[in-house]
Structure 1
Amino acid sequence: MKTLIIYNHPYKESYNHAILESVIKGIKKAHGDYEVIDLDKENFNPVMTSADLLGFVKHQAVDPMAISYAEKIRKADHLVFIFPIWWELMPAMLKGFIDKVIYPGLTYDYKENGLSMSSRLEKLKFTTVITTMNTPKIMYKFTYGNAVKKALIKGTFKKTGMKNIKWISLNMVKMSTAQKRQKWLKNIEYKFAKI
């Protein structure tokens, strides 16, 4: 199985980076094939320019980096997104990735009615989203309306035809003990070793 990891965190000593390492350890234990797109390290430009927007309307992407990322996504069996939740949503760089890579003509097409969409990701079997936040899970759900679930998982991934989407939400990370954080990492490694 080919796994493509889309990772967004600027600090390599972060807990998100430890999650990335656990995912990779699990994949290696399963003898899987993987690649990491590190948006910060690769200096991805998340800004949607007027040329990008015109390309969106014409279903012809113009950003070479976004086009190359979409090609990698089309070859993947499993997509994994790892990022922190800041101000109840994903960081700007990941939002820009979604805007410029999950794109008509690249990863999905519109159906004849102009509203429904069909995926161009024929190989893709699974999508896993792993997030960290300091908000309690119940507060994130009821006070902030599960913003990532509504905007990213339902409003983007499911709408564009992705299937078998799992969300691993790690909450109250700063307030958790070192033992709990280590347990989360071990669970993630185990999960990816079994895929």
Structure 2
Amino acid sequence: MRILLVLAHPLEDSFAASVAKVARETLVAGGHEVDLLDLYREGFNPSLSEAERRGYFDQPYDTAGVDDIVTRLRAAEGLILVFPQWWFNFPAILKGFFDRAFAPGVAFTHDPAGGRIVPQLTNIRLFWALTTTGSPWWIVHFYMGNPVRRLLKRGIAAFCAKRLSFRMLALHDMDRVTEAGRKAHLARVRKALATI
């Protein structure tokens, strides 16, 4: 399977970078082709431009500013995101990735009659998120309602592709996790990805 592995963290020595490294190694060992898109290292600009917003309903939508990423997204059969959750949400650069690359004509098309959008990323069969939170599990799930999982599964994945495998692996309470806890999570990531 050809997998687009997207890393969204500004620090090269972050735990997210370690997760992405383990993910890449495991996937390659499993015979998959991995395209690593490190948003920070590749200098991705997350800001939707005025022209992009004004042309949002144009047919065709102009993706010139993100053509390379759109090409990589369209070539993928699987999408795996690696990112921390900040303020119970995506890092700004990852939100910008969705805003700019998951554009009309790429991730979906507008229903001409209005109403529902029509998924266009039919090439994506697998959509996983490997993430961390600074908050404990119970705050993320019970107090906040696990907003990132809902956005990814019910919003982005469901509206952009059909019949895909969705999974989210999260390490909670990241700021207090021990070295042993981090190693155990990396082993969990390795084991999960080895099943793909």
| TM tier relative to shorter chain | over 0.9
State the AA in 2 paired with 1:185: L
Match of 1:193 in 2: 194
Match of 1:157 in 2: 157
Unaligned runs of 5+ residues in structure 1 are none
2:43 maps to 1:38? no
SS at match of 2:139: helix
Over 3 Å counting, the alpha-carbon distance change for 1:132 and 1:179 in structure 2 is same
Q: CA deviation at 1:65?
A: 4.5
Query: Structure 1 segments of 4 or more deviating over 4 A?
Result: none
State the AA in 2 paired with 1:132: T
Match of 2:62 in 1: 62
- For residues 105 and 42 of structure 2, the distance between their equivalents in structure 1, rounded to whole angstroms, comes to 24
8 Å CA contact retained: 2:107, 2:161: no
- Once the two structures are superposed, what CA deviation does each residue of 1:118-147 show, in whole Å capped at 9, x if it has no partner? 222232111001111111112112222222
Over 3 Å counting, the alpha-carbon distance change for 1:64 and 1:112 in structure 2 is closer
8 Å CA contact retained: 1:6, 1:38: yes
- Once the two structures are superposed, what CA deviation does each residue of 1:8-31 show, in whole Å capped at 9, x if it has no partner? 001011100110011011112102
RMSD: 1.6
- For residues 149 and 194 of structure 1, the distance between their equivalents in structure 2, rounded to whole angstroms, comes to 21
**With structure 2 as the length reference, what TM-score do the two structures score?**
0.92
- Once the two structures are superposed, what CA deviation does each residue of 1:155-184 show, in whole Å capped at 9, x if it has no partner? 222122342211111101121121121011
Match of 1:137 in 2: 137
Q: How many residue pairs are counted as aligned between the two chains?
A: 195
State the AA in 2 paired with 1:154: R
8 Å CA contact retained: 1:61, 1:67: no
